[in-house]
Structure 1
Amino acid sequence: MTAPTHVRPVTRDDFDNWLPLWDAYNAFYGRSGETALPRDITDLTWSRFFDGYEPMHALVAESDGKLLGLVHYLFHRHTTMAGPICYLQDLYTVETARGKGIGRALINAVYAQAKAANSQRVYWQTHETNHTAMRLYDDVADRSGFVVYRKAL
């Protein structure tokens, strides 16, 4: 029998187990090798999860003492709502755990955190080729219809 999965906030002691998930997430989106995310950015991101002045948070899914997934989210203001809205920025589960409800559990945990913060909305984006994840996303949220534009500066 498989041990149940528990979603919880990261702790400082999780770094060595969180880092391989973070690296795999970044590799999935093409940030590896010569285009790898610089370590100082990883260290900065990690430190923000424990800084009370930062609106950035992290949860992990754990089973049998092993981290199987991560989710990072942050709160920000919005021009058409009084309360903060929640941006789910990063979501990743190890390949062997996919299709077992871990991604859904992580998203639902973000929903719970957002409700507790009086947020009126949780939103995220994914790459248009991420069809596997989109099957889950179509089940747990509505597509906004918005297209993302960006320019590196």
Structure 2
Amino acid sequence: MRISALTESDRADWEPLWQGYLTFYETELADAVTDATFARLVAGDGMHGAIARDDEGRAVGFVNWLPQSSTWTTGAYCYLEDLFVAPDVRGGGVGRALIAHVRAWAEDAGCDQVYWLTADGNARARTLYDKVADLSGFVHYQITLAPEPA
């Protein structure tokens, strides 16, 4: 397996994975949001993305992350926002490798922490997360201000 930064040439391989991710979370986004997200990930301007490919070059997963300032440290935190692995290769180490990729990036960038959220019922992913990270015990709240049109 090979993990590399997203480039413009990855769009055709990334998008079906992205759509699978959105379907998993029962979400639809307008095409303009997907287009803008991909452009920002490729630009690496505040947001970062990587794609995992198997030995045959097939895209099998992706991860997106961004650094952010924190009031609890002089350094930054790294928010792992999106992680998706193709269903047919789950359990084969792709998710673990993508998380390790972000961790390495965050360490190189001087971040003090990598963190992420997942759905409470995402049992399969949580099995992995419990092995590679500590459950924080925090409960997530949100106020949606301007939902994107689907």
Counterpart of 1:58? 49
Output the CA distance in 2 between the equivalents of 1:50 and 1:103: 20
Gaps of at least 5 residues in structure 1 are none
Please state how far the C-alpha of 1:116 moved relative to its aligned partner: 0.6
Gaps of at least 5 residues in structure 2 are 146-150
RMSD: 0.8
State the 4+ residue runs in structure 1 displaced beyond 6 angstroms: none
1:4-153 equivalent positions in 2, closer than 5 A: 5-31=1-27, 36-52=28-44, 54-63=45-54, 64-153=56-145
> Sequence identity, in percent?
41
Superposed CA deviations along residues 79-132 of structure 1, whole A, max 9, x for unmatched, are 011111100000000001100000000000000000010001000000000000
Paired AA for residue 82 in structure 1:
T
Paired AA for residue 106 in structure 2:
A
Q: What SS does the corresponding residue of 2:111 show, helix, strand or coil? A: coil
Q: What SS does the corresponding residue of 1:110 show, helix, strand or coil? A: helix
Q: TM-score, normalised on structure 1? A: 0.92
Q: What SS does the corresponding residue of 2:43 show, helix, strand or coil? A: coil
User: RCO greater where, 1 or 2, for CA within 8 Å and sep 6 or more?
Assistant: 2
Please state how far the C-alpha of 1:73 moved relative to its aligned partner: 0.3
Paired AA for residue 59 in structure 1:
A
Please state how far the C-alpha of 1:50 moved relative to its aligned partner: 2.9
Q: What SS does the corresponding residue of 2:26 show, helix, strand or coil? A: coil
Paired AA for residue 47 in structure 2:
M
Please state how far the C-alpha of 1:65 moved relative to its aligned partner: 1.3
Aligned length: 144
Paired AA for residue 6 in structure 1:
R
Output the CA distance in 2 between the equivalents of 1:67 and 1:83: 33
Q: TM-score, normalised on structure 2? A: 0.94
Output the CA distance in 1 between the equivalents of 2:42 and 2:25: 25
